[in-house]
Amino acid sequence: MSFREKMPTSPKSPLRRRRLSWSGSWLNHQTTSFKQVVSAVIEAQSPRSRSKSLSSDFDFPDVDRTLSLPDSLLLKILGKLPEPQNGDCSLVCKRWLNLQGRRVRTMKVFDWDFLLSGKLVSRFPKLTSVDLSNACVNPPRKSGVLLCHKSISFHISSDSTDWDFVERNLLHSEMVDRGLRVLGRGGCDLLKLVVINATELGLLSLAGDCCDLQELELQK
């Protein structure tokens, strides 16, 4: 009777040692996340040349392709967008901000310093109707009472006992005339203007610069 020689069963025997695959080594590692395993599988199964070609197809150059469009064409495109998206488009870049400003035709100003600084005419160079009535009133600060009368609305002090607070809080006529000169020098296509406490000299200066002015609402 012959007996077969038993093979050694020592755990250290190279014949019984099972070589772990790369996936098993990944999965047996406690610090390896599932996302890392999936990424490794995809990378192993995809040819390197193919992955490079695919990645190159989606590598777009960091260039603004709208720069090749003239302003007139880009204005037409922006004009087709819904009105609520106009504010979002102006945040894309400085060029789009300036183009959106050129599309604005009517403006109601509440801050007189915004007019004096020249930002109104530079930001909105194509204005045809400007209402300065609210900006001509210098309301008291930290007032919680809002007074509305026709197209004018401004804050008043809660301890006001008479109706002369409007005259007391109006901007000085010299300041109003100065703002009109800034508005006229802006070269806007002004057709309508609403202003308070302007003098004849200020209006004449504005009329000389804005020859197309058709409607003037002067309040005193």
Give tens-digit pLDDT for 163-217.
555 566 788 899 999 999 999 888 778 999 999 888 999 999 888 888 888 888 8
Q: What's the domain range around 42?
A: 22-50
- Tell me, what's the pLDDT at 175? 92
Averaged confidence pLDDT in the chain: 73
Instruction: Kindly state whether residue 162 falls inside one of the protein's structural domains.
Output: no
Radius of gyration of the chain (CA): 37
Judge if 99 and 179 occupy the same domain: no
Judge if 119 and 187 occupy the same domain: yes
Instruction: Kindly state whether residue 183 falls inside one of the protein's structural domains.
Output: yes
Instruction: Kindly state whether residue 75 falls inside one of the protein's structural domains.
Output: yes
Q: Which of 95 and 128 is assigned the larger pLDDT? A: 128
Contact partners, residue 110, CB within 8 Å, separation at least 6: 134, 135
- Tell me, what's the pLDDT at 179? 92
pLDDT digits (tens, 9 = 90+) for 52-73: 555 555 555 567 777 777 888 8
Judge if 130 and 187 occupy the same domain: yes
Judge if 131 and 177 occupy the same domain: yes
Instruction: Kindly state whether residue 161 falls inside one of the protein's structural domains.
Output: no
Mean local confidence (pLDDT), 42-59: 54
2 membership: H or E segment, kind and range:
none
Judge if 77 and 179 occupy the same domain: no
Judge if 123 and 210 occupy the same domain: yes
Among 98, 120, 102, smallest CA distance to 193 is for: 120
pTM over 0.85, yes/no: no
Judge if 120 and 197 occupy the same domain: yes
Instruction: Kindly state whether residue 57 falls inside one of the protein's structural domains.
Output: no
Instruction: Kindly state whether residue 74 falls inside one of the protein's structural domains.
Output: yes
d(CA 74, CA 80): 10
φ and ψ at residue 117, rounded to 5 degrees: -70, -10
Judge if 126 and 98 occupy the same domain: no
Q: Which residue has the tokens 């077969």?
A: 4
Instruction: Kindly state whether residue 192 falls inside one of the protein's structural domains.
Output: yes
Judge if 117 and 99 occupy the same domain: no
Provide the H-helix boundaries in 34-172. Answer: 34-45, 48-57, 71-79, 86-89, 94-102, 112-116, 119-123, 165-168
Q: Which residue has the tokens 């057709």?
A: 191
pLDDT > 70? residue 136: yes
Pairing of strands 152-156, 145-149: antiparallel
C-alpha 189, offset from chain centre: 25
Judge if 210 and 177 occupy the same domain: yes
The structural domain count of the chain equals 3
pLDDT > 60? residue 19: no
Judge if 84 and 132 occupy the same domain: no
Judge if 122 and 188 occupy the same domain: yes
Instruction: Kindly state whether residue 154 falls inside one of the protein's structural domains.
Output: no
d(CA 5, CA 40): 44
- How many CB atoms sit inside 10 A of residue 35's CB? 8
Which three-class secondary structure state does DSSP give residue 20? coil
pLDDT grade for 115, boundaries at 50, 70 and 90? very high
- Tell me, what's the pLDDT at 49? 46
Identify residue 10 by its one-letter amino acid code: S
pLDDT grade for 34, boundaries at 50, 70 and 90? low
List C-alpha distances in Å: 69 to 73, 74, 159: 6, 6, 58
